[in-house]
Amino acid sequence: MFSSQVDLNDKTILVTGGTGSFGKRFIRTVLDNYKPRRLIVFSRDELKQFEMQKAFDDPSLRFFIGNVRDKDRLYRAFDGVDYVIHAAALKQVPAAEYNPFEFIKTNVIGAQNIIDAAIDVGVSRVVALSTDKACNPVNLYGATKLCSDKLFISGNSYAGESDTRFSVVRYGNVAGSRGSVIPFFMQMKDKGMLPITDERMTRFWISLDESVSLVMLALDSMRGGEIFVPKIPTATVLDMAKAIAPQATYETVGIRPGEKLHESLISEEEGRTTYAYDDHYVIRPNFPWWSHDETNDAGELVPDGFSFTSDSNSWWLTVAELTEMIAKVARTNEDDLLRPTIP
């Protein structure tokens, strides 16, 4: 977990995409540790909001039905908000290849709507969630998230004299989230055969709790324009399958349209402005207006030529470690897909 001293007591926080895996865990973490003035869930799906209202009983909670494509609704929702966590996105790689402009409308135009509304209404801080697929993207989804990241970083320039600041957190696959391969493999394991894209394929892994902790770190330490990247481990997709279904057979089905064999969290080009800390990296914005107090900063500039990729990562998870991680996910995840697998 990442260390932060952010104080969310008596704050009004809004989470876009708040009924998703991250949003639910973030909401639970805030309610367990702070006493916010208001905690707003902003999302499109009324059924998911209804189910979440039944699961979370707290007087600070508010539920707004809305879409980040609708700027007018964002202006209304952001009224009086201190912090915005932007988790709403379309995320499925194959779907993006066949429905590209739908992803652009949500992930890119929606991001600009968030920026405009936050500045105009006077939100203090915005943290946007990104993905390793935004680093040197090869698919439409990754390209939209790269564009979104660039918009949020430049949003600090648009803010002018406003106090609104924007930063980004970028991480890999979230263990146990609805889009993760873990629940898919768990559903398939009783059939005795798991489909593997490529035995060489590697991915970064992070838990839901760690992703929430990273957002808290960003809220605490952001000056505006940074990309926060966690130091997280790598595992092959094949080892993940072995951890979930050790007795199963595996069929190689090939890489889907738009997929990479390996992912990157920091490119060599981004390494030129990347600083390393004990448990994370910060990619600082390369703008003349941005400055940092080096005397109170424990970060060190990474070596020339540095990059952070899943195949060259020095931290690899063994099958035994993956098994332990999956068991923990099954015990703590609120997703119904995982509940039947709890030991």
Catalytic annotation, residues: 133
Reading phi first (left if > 0) and then psi (alpha if -120 to 50, else beta), residue 16 is in beta
Maximum Cα interatomic distance, the chain, rounded to a whole number of Å: 61
Name the β-bridge partners of 249.
193
Distance, in Å, from the CA atom of 313 to the CA atom of 173, rounded to the nearest integer, reads 15
Distance, in Å, from the CA atom of 184 to the CA atom of 322, rounded to the nearest integer, reads 15
Name the β-bridge partners of 92.
none
Which strand ranges, in their side-by-side order, compose the sheet holding 234-236? 173-175, 202-207, 234-236
Distance, in Å, from the CA atom of 40 to the CA atom of 18, rounded to the nearest integer, reads 8
Distance, in Å, from the CA atom of 168 to the CA atom of 48, rounded to the nearest integer, reads 26
Distance, in Å, from the CA atom of 148 to the CA atom of 158, rounded to the nearest integer, reads 15
Distance, in Å, from the CA atom of 316 to the CA atom of 312, rounded to the nearest integer, reads 10
Q: CB 261: neighbour CB atoms within 10 A?
A: 12
Q: Tell me the residue type at 94.
A: P
Closest CA to 125 of 113, 114, 134: 114
Strands 202-207 and 234-236: antiparallel
Distance, in Å, from the CA atom of 112 to the CA atom of 118, rounded to the nearest integer, reads 10
Q: Which helix (H) or strand (E) holds 64?
A: strand 61-65
Answer positive or negative: Cα dihedral of 15, 19, 20, 25.
positive
Residue 272, both tokens: 């030129």
